[in-house]
Amino acid sequence: MKTKKTYALLLFIGAILITTSCVKELDFEQLDEVVLTPVFEADFIYSEFDVEDYIPQGTPSNTEFTIPPEVLRDTINYDLVGTDFAIDNLDRVELTMEVRNTIQRAFTLQFQFLTQTGQPIGQLYSIEVRAGLGEGTEPVVSPQPGDPNNPIVLDNATLNQLASAQKIATEIIVPTLNSDLRGALQIRSKASYYVNYQL
């Protein structure tokens, strides 16, 4: 008998809540105003240059030498935007570079996008790398924090220009070196893709 009274009371309370509760009117037109803005990150350029690996065999101590430019060139596959959908919905791509140097020489890092057939497309980008303090020291980082050119921002117009980019060509431009130099140059970077997609 108690159970029937409890059920009756719950039904009565439920009926009151249903008739008196407020429901906000939904505006399904708001879905047209929804904009998705995710950010995706991908590895971009990674390379390492240890000066000891490039000293010609049998070079006497304290001898100047140069490295042929073609030795320090590299081309990798990298489809920058992939599809027309990506181009149409990308707000921008930011390329953040970090070069850590312990070699007591300044360098220049250059890279450029290429088509599938290897034709250069868009501009050639250059990053000046400050000299390091020698092997066993804390690496000198370039570009410095706050550098206005880091990250490199590829806006929508630039991305349209680079739509057919399928590769990246990189080159480390090395000054004259000395056989007594030791240390390494480490290049790390990432590409941040800023999507702006309206439902």
What pLDDT score does 5 carry?
58
Domain boundaries, the chain: 36-198
- pLDDT, averaged across the chain: 85
The H-or-E segment that residue 192 falls in is: strand 184-195
Which residue is associated with the tokens 């390091």? 132
Residue 35 has pLDDT above 80, yes or no: no
Domain 36-198 fold is Jelly Rolls (2.60.120)
Residue 106 has pLDDT above 90, yes or no: yes
What pLDDT score does 88 carry?
77
What pLDDT score does 4 carry?
59
Distance CA 129, CA 142 (A): 5
Q: pLDDT band at 11, cuts 50/70/90? A: low
Q: What is the pLDDT of residues 175-195, one digit of tens each?
A: 899 999 999 999 999 999 998
SS (H, E, C) 34-98: CEECCEEEEEEEEEEEEHHHHCCCCCCCCCEECCCHHHHEEEEECCCCCCHHHHHHEEEEEEEEE
